[in-house]
Chains A and B, each alone.
Chain A
Amino acid sequence: DQQVKQNSPSLSVQEGRISILNCDYTNSMFDYFLWYKKYPAEGPTFLISISSIKDKNEDGRFTVFLNKSAKHLSLHIVPSQPGDSAVYFCAASISGYSTLTFGKGTMLLVSP
C-alpha cells in the first residue's frame, strides 16, 4: 500500500514558466515532508522541507505548499530552468522516527 503517491510520472514545462509537482499521502501520522532532486547516475539531493505546523515554505525559486486537510503537498519552481530537469521525489516522515517514505518520483523536463 503506497503511503506517498506521486501520480504524475513525468512533467514537461518550458523554460521560464512555473513547474508544479504534486504529492499525496495517506498516513495522517506524517508530519514532516521533504523534496529531493535526482539527476541520472547521481544520488538524490535534498531540496526543501516543510513541517506540518506550516502550510508554506520558500527557498529561492522553490516553494512547497502543504494542505493537511487534503493530505496533499506541492512543489513550485518559478521560473523553471533547463538545469531543473531531473527526477523529483517527495518523502514523508513521522516525528521521532528515522525513516522516510518516498514516492515513486516525477521526471521533470524543462525545455529551452
Chain B
Amino acid sequence: DVKVTQSSRYLVKRTGEKVFLECVQDMDHENMFWYRQDPGLGLRLIYFSYDVKMKEKGDIPEGYSVSREKKERFSLILESASTNQTSMYLCASSLRTGEQYFGPGTRLTVT
C-alpha cells in the first residue's frame, strides 16, 4: 500500500511566521504535489515536483515555495503566513502519470 504521511494533522501559527509543511511518501514515486482545499473551491494545486530539485508552479503558487531535496520528501513553505492561508493542505504523490495518492492533510490555522 502507498503511504503518504504529513508532518502535522493540525497546526496553529501567527501572522508573519514562517511555516514548514513536510510530506513523505514511501513508494518511490517520481511526482509529488501540494494542494489546498477550501469549502466551495475544491482542490487547488499549489506546486508540484516531477523529480528531485525540480518544481513547477500550480494554479495558486503566490505566497508559497517548495523544496524537494530527496525523492521521498516534498516540503511546502509559507514564507510569511497570512490569515488567507488558513486552509486544509494536502500532499499527494504519483508515478509519472495516473492516480495520485494523498496524505491525511494538515489543517493550518493562521491567527
B104 touches A43 (CB 8 A): yes
Q: Which of A9, A43, A98, A104 contacts B97 (CB 8 A)?
A: A98
- Chain A 31-45: CB-based contact to B (< 8 A → 1; otherwise 0): 010101000011111
Chain B interface, number of residues (Cβ within 8 angstroms): 27
CA distance A44 to B32 in the complex (A): 15
CA distance A32 to B42 in the complex (A): 19
From A48, which residue of chain B is reached at the shortest CB distance?
B99
Chain A interface, number of residues (Cβ within 8 angstroms): 23
**Interface positions of B (Cβ within 8 A of A):** 4, 9, 31, 33, 40-45, 48, 50, 58, 90, 92, 94, 96-105, 107
17 example contacts (A-B, Cβ-Cβ < 8 A) are as follows A32-B97, A36-B102, A41-B107, A42-B104, A43-B4, A43-B90, A43-B104, A46-B99, A46-B100, A95-B97, A96-B97, A97-B97, A98-B48, A99-B33, A104-B40, A105-B42, A105-B43
**Interface positions of A (Cβ within 8 A of B):** 9, 32, 34, 36, 41-46, 49, 89, 93, 95-100, 102-105
